[in-house]
């Protein structure tokens, strides 16, 4: 691919039709497609796509299972190094969300002819920086030419078969923890439209580039019971929590006042700065979510906002909540207790 010289270089976000995980297929469309597929699942396959979990898990031996995930998307920011770092951190998150340890990664690259190759070098360097932080090598990958740049990783990890953490084990009496604030989808849309403040851009960048390693290691430590675990990404808090409740056949209550939000995001949502993926998320879950009467639609959008490398969402027995909070704090994770689980028809009640 030859280096090309052009006039004014395009911003990366100008070349993306959606920002980050908002580029995912709509949950309703994906459910329709996957519902028609028959999966041959042998006894060694411990986790597949039937519960919408974060990664596949396959038992290799009595004491070892391999965990496999893949994730990639178009640019969420204009800086190529930061884009690469965000995409890599997001791909690694699915391994941590299964209670697993990453081993190595492969790069996935789509790159336009019109961009200089130095941009791709910076994207890959950003991805490498997060692999280094996670303590894993990048052993190869695959690249294709495409009019829209995209980057991500396939990541392989390992976990003991009896220590796999899935999204399907939540129980009545559990409490719900969230390890990052919401709003990165709305924030990146503001960045793409050129209406984000410097403070918002910096805060959103910090959220998206932070590995979920510390939180994942705490939840996998065995210091307290974790009944269910997932990460909050393209389908938003409401979408991923609904998947968790549906898989376990239980119901959640969310305390609106306890849910952490990135500053400035609610105001942007009120002004209509909302990605299409976020609006699709809300439309997908609205029949199974009860909001307080009169709750503004902009706040509903924030709860459904399509996140890029969002936090981990854990369901933990209430009697171990304090122990969990102390362990997370000791690891430098600013987690919030945002709700609880009870018996009932799968769905979500938002209160406060």
Q: Same CATH topology for 12-163 and 174-351?
A: no
Q: Are 227 and 316 contacting, i.e. CB atoms less than 8 angstroms apart?
A: yes
pLDDT of residue 54: 73
Phi, psi of 270 (to 5 degrees): -65, -30
Token pair 């204009």 in the structure block, residue: 78
Q: What predicted TM-score, i.e. pTM, was given to this entire model? A: 0.90
- Is 141 labelled a binding residue? yes
- Is 51 labelled a binding residue? yes
The residues annotated as belonging to the active site are 21
CA distance linking residue 239 with residue 233, whole number of Å: 9
Joined together, the tokens standing for residue 273 give 């700065």
- C-alpha triplet 45, 50, 52: angle, nearest 5°: 110
Domain ranges, ordered by start, for the chain: 12-163, 174-351
Q: Which helix (H) or strand (E) holds 339?
A: strand 336-342
CA distance linking residue 248 with residue 50, whole number of Å: 12
CA distance linking residue 328 with residue 16, whole number of Å: 36
- Is 147 labelled a binding residue? no
Q: Which of 240, 213, 228, 102 is nearest to 164 (CA)?
A: 228
Within its chain, how far is the Cα of 311 from the centroid? 7
Report DSSP state, residue 308: S
CA distance linking residue 189 with residue 196, whole number of Å: 8
CA distance linking residue 249 with residue 31, whole number of Å: 18
DSSP notation for 1-12: ------SSPPPG
CA distance linking residue 261 with residue 115, whole number of Å: 35
- Is 132 labelled a binding residue? no
Within its chain, how far is the Cα of 94 from the centroid? 8
**Which stretches within 173-224 are classed as H helix?**
184-193, 198-209, 213-219
- Is 349 labelled a binding residue? no
Phi, psi of 274 (to 5 degrees): -140, 130
Q: Are 309 and 53 contacting, i.e. CB atoms less than 8 angstroms apart?
A: no
- Is 94 labelled a binding residue? yes
Joined together, the tokens standing for residue 4 give 């090309």
Joined together, the tokens standing for residue 138 give 């990048």
CA distance linking residue 40 with residue 300, whole number of Å: 38
Q: Looking at the domain covering 174-351, what would its CATH class be? A: alpha beta
Kindly provide the b/e burial profile for residues 276-313, where b requires at least 16 CB atoms within 10 angstroms of the residue's own CB. bbbbbbbebbeeebebeeeeeebbbbbbbbbbbbbbbb
Q: Which of 208, 184, 186, 219 is nearest to 316 (CA)?
A: 219
pLDDT of residue 13: 84
- C-alpha triplet 286, 89, 279: angle, nearest 5°: 20
Per-residue pLDDT of the chain (352 residues; tens, 9 = 90+): 444 444 566 788 887 766 554 565 565 566 666 666 676 678 888 888 776 777 899 999 999 999 999 999 999 999 999 999 999 999 999 999 999 999 999 999 999 999 999 999 999 999 999 999 999 999 999 999 999 999 999 999 999 999 999 999 999 999 999 999 999 999 999 988 889 999 999 999 999 999 999 999 999 999 999 999 999 999 999 999 999 999 999 999 999 999 999 999 999 999 999 999 999 999 999 999 999 999 999 999 999 999 999 999 999 999 999 999 999 999 999 999 999 999 999 999 999 8
Number of DSSP helices (H) and strands (E) in the chain, helices first? 11, 13
Phi, psi of 338 (to 5 degrees): -110, -5
**Which stretches within 97-175 are classed as H helix?**
117-134
Fold of 12-163: 60s Ribosomal Protein L30; Chain: A; (3.30.1330)
Kindly provide the b/e burial profile for residues 254-273, where b requires at least 16 CB atoms within 10 angstroms of the residue's own CB. bebeebebbebbbebbeeeb
- Is 71 labelled a binding residue? yes
CA distance linking residue 45 with residue 53, whole number of Å: 13
């Amino acid at each position: 691919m030859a280096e090309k010289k052009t006039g004014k270089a395009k911003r990366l976000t100008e070349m993306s039709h959606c920002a980050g995980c908002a580029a995912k297929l709509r949950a309703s469309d994906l459910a329709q497609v996957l519902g028609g597929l028959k999966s041959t699942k042998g006894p060694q396959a411990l986790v597949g796509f039937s519960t919408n979990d974060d990664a596949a898990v396959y038992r290799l031996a009595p004491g070892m299972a391999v965990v496999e995930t893949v994730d990639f998307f178009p640019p969420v920011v204009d800086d190529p190094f930061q884009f690469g770092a965000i995409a890599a951190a997001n791909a690694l998150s699915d391994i941590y969300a299964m209670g697993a340890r990453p081993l190595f990664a492969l790069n996935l690259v789509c790159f336009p002819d019109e961009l200089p190759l130095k941009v791709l070098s910076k994207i890959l360097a950003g991805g490498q920086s997060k692999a280094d932080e996670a303590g894993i090598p990048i052993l190869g990958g695959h690249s294709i030419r495409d009019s829209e740049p995209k980057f991500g990783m396939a990541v392989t990890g390992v976990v003991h078969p009896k220590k796999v953490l899935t999204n399907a084990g939540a129980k009545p009496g559990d409490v719900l923890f969230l390890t990052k604030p919401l709003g990165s989808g709305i924030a990146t849309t503001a960045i793409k439209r050129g209406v984000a403040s410097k403070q918002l851009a910096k805060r959103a960048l910090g959220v998206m580039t932070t590995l979920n390693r510390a939180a994942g290691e705490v939840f996998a430590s065995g210091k307290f019971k974790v009944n269910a675990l997932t990460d909050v990404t393209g389908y938003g808090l409401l979408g991923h929590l609904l998947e968790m409740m549906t898989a376990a056949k239980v119901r959640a209550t969310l305390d609106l006042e306890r849910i952490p939000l990135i500053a400035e995001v609610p105001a942007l949502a009120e002004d209509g700065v909302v990605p299409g993926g976020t609006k699709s998320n809300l439309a997908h879950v609205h029949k199974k979510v009860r909001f307080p009467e009169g709750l503004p639609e902009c706040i509903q959008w924030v709860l459904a906002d399509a996140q890029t490398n969002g936090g981990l969402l854990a369901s933990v027995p209430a009697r171990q909540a304090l122990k969990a909070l102390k362990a997370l704090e000791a690891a430098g994770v600013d987690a919030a207790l945002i709700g609880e689980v009870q018996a009932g028809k799968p769905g979500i009640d938002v209160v406060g």
